[in-house]
């Protein structure tokens, strides 16, 4: 018996490693909304003081572009609001129930010989769920070419939230924002630790930040000013435009701390839900890709040291993510891009009242390989999704870490064609312009329609 047990031992195997999500000090991570936009104002005011160009020469074109976009976007925002209100009304009707009361309906008393239903009825509606949205925006270098179009998509959703009075917060993840503060003598003030480092906890870099770019807590005029600030920055990243103004320090594009942002959501989501007394939260992540696997803290015992040394180690195929609160464990024996899905599945288990929605910006050449991650190389589901992609330049995947993962064409997002023709245009030119404008809006309406279905 003992010999048989010994034979079962795999001496070539690796011992399982269990890693855990650390509790982050989110006050240290989140860059305040006011601080970000004060930085923009001060940076550009200083620039204007030291240049011969006027405000109009520097910002005139981009500000005009923002106003024109806002005017054209109202159609899509109104479409969103209409869809939202219709779905809310339909949902209320579905929840309606009619019951008899103990009060006689005097208008029916004369029918007492043939009608047994002489009591008044009351129709009651079950309370609907109040919603809130948390947006996480990818502020990495790879987003430069599509940042303006992604920001436009985000603005549509923000204007929608304002119109229907849904609370929201928008965070952009970065590792470029200055983490060191300075006192009046310009001496660096060391920041507080982001979390307690211990053996087995996932490592979060000290330069990671979440910039709170927008919030529903401010008034409409302030929000519009802030949206203009970010629009200016997003447009300056585009290859199409040359800007005379510089991006404020700390707001340039950086690496891709997407996984760090997902870790931070463990603290952000319950706080947001509690503060706004919400029953349902939608978490929307706008990105153009996944991030690399995080490392974890590990104690190393060295001969020349009396105490163990706390260093960093890579997560291997023998590692598991453990959540002590839910009791769940998740295998980390995944491809590098699968680490993000594992973190999302953990979030979904921990926060069942939160919907996680991914919006992935895709180049046409990347769509096929991306879809195959979730459908396999040869399958009817792959063929179905790719056919939809070819026709509509968008698709939605249900079998990922997100509840719904939208794929959006970068080129289609950039196509903002409006129904605009010259005064002397021929009938064929008018027809061509009309068809072009319809096609450019087809993708957005489909995505926004599915989005409202999740929110309503």
Each residue's pLDDT tens digit, 237-262: 976 656 778 899 999 999 999 999 99
Instruction: List the chain domain ranges.
Output: 22-83+134-293+330-455
With CA atoms as reference, report the closest residue to 343 among 255, 406, 264: 264
- CB 336 within 8 Å of CB 291: no
C-alpha to C-alpha distance for 146 and 100, rounded to whole angstroms = 58
Q: Which two tokens stand for residue 250?
A: 């700390």
Let me know if 112 is exposed, middle or buried by CB neighbors in 10 A (0-12, 13-18, 19+).
exposed
What's the confidence (pLDDT) of residue 192? Answer: 83
Q: At what angle do helices 33-49 and 220-237 cross, to 10 degrees?
A: 60
DSSP-derived secondary structure letter, 140: B
- CB 268 within 8 Å of CB 278: no
Strand partners, 137: 172, 286
C-alpha to C-alpha distance for 441 and 218, rounded to whole angstroms = 30
In angstroms, the Cα distances linking 363 to 373, 437, 441 are 16, 21, 18
Query: Is 390 strand, coil or helix?
Result: helix
- CB 281 within 8 Å of CB 354: yes
pLDDT over 70 percentage in the chain:
77
Find the helix or strand (DSSP H, E) in which 103 lies: strand 96-104
Query: Is 113 strand, coil or helix?
Result: coil
Q: pLDDT digit string (tens) for 140-193?
A: 999 998 899 899 989 999 999 999 899 999 999 999 998 777 667 767 677 788
Stated pTM of the model: 0.83
Q: pLDDT digit string (tens) for 39-92?
A: 999 999 999 998 888 999 999 999 999 999 999 888 888 888 888 887 766 554
Q: Which residues of the chain have pLDDT under 50?
A: 8, 92-93, 95-98, 121-127, 417-419, 421, 427, 431, 434-435, 437-438
Buried b / exposed e along 307-342 (16+ C-beta atoms within 10 A): eeeeeebebeeebbbbbeeeeeebebebeeebbbbb
What sign does the dihedral 162-168-174-176 (CA atoms) show?
Answer: positive
């Amino acid at each position: 018996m003992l010999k048989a047990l010994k034979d079962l031992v795999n001496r070539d195997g690796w011992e399982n490693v269990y890693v855990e999500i650390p509790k982050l000090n989110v006050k240290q991570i989140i860059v305040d909304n006011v601080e970000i936009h004060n930085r923009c104002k001060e940076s550009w005011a200083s620039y204007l003081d030291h240049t011969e160009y006027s405000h109009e020469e520097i910002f005139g074109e981009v500000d005009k572009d923002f106003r024109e976009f806002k005017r054209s976007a109202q159609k899509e925002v109104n479409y969103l609001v209409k869809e939202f209100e219709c779905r809310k009304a339909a949902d209320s009707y579905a929840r309606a129930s009619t019951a008899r009361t103990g009060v006689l309906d005097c208008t029916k008393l004369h029918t007492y010989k043939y009608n047994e239903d002489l009591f008044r009825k009351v129709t009651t509606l079950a309370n609907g769920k109040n919603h809130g949205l948390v947006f996480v925006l990818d502020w990495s270098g790879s987003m430069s070419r599509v940042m303006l179009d992604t920001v436009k998509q985000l603005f549509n959703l923000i204007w929608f939230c304002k119109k229907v009075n849904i609370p929201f917060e928008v965070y952009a993840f970065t590792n470029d924002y200055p983490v060191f503060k300075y006192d009046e003598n310009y001496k660096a003030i060391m920041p507080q630790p982001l979390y307690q480092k211990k053996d087995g906890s996932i490592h979060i870099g000290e330069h990671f930040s979440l910039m709170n770019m927008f919030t529903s807590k401010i008034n409409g005029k302030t929000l519009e000013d802030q949206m203009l600030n970010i629009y200016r920055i997003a447009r300056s990243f585009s290859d199409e435009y040359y800007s005379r103004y510089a991006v404020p320090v700390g707001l340039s594009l950086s690496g891709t701390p997407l996984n760090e942002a997902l870790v931070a959501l463990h603290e952000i989501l319950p706080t947001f839900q509690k503060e706004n007394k919400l029953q349902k939260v939608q978490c929307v992540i706008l990105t153009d890709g996944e991030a690399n696997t995080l490392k974890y803290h590990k104690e190393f015992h060295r001969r020349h040291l009396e105490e163990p040394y706390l260093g960093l180690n890579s997560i291997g195929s023998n590692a598991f993510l453990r959540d002590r609160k839910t009791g769940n464990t998740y295998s980390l024996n995944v491809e590098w891009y699968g680490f993000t899905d594992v973190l999302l599945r953990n979030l979904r288990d921990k926060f069942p009242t939160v919907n996680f929605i991914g919006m992935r910006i895709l180049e046409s050449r990347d769509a096929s390989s991306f879809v195959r991650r979730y459908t396999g190389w040869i399958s009817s589901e792959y063929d179905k999704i790719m056919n939809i992609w070819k026709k509509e330049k968008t698709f939605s995947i249900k079998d990922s870490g997100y509840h719904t993962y939208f794929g959006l064409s970068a080129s289609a997002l950039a196509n903002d064609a409006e129904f605009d023709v010259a005064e002397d245009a021929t009938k064929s030119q008018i027809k061509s312009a009309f068809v072009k404008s319809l096609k450019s809006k087809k993708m957005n309406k489909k995505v926004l329609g599915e989005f409202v279905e999740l929110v309503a």
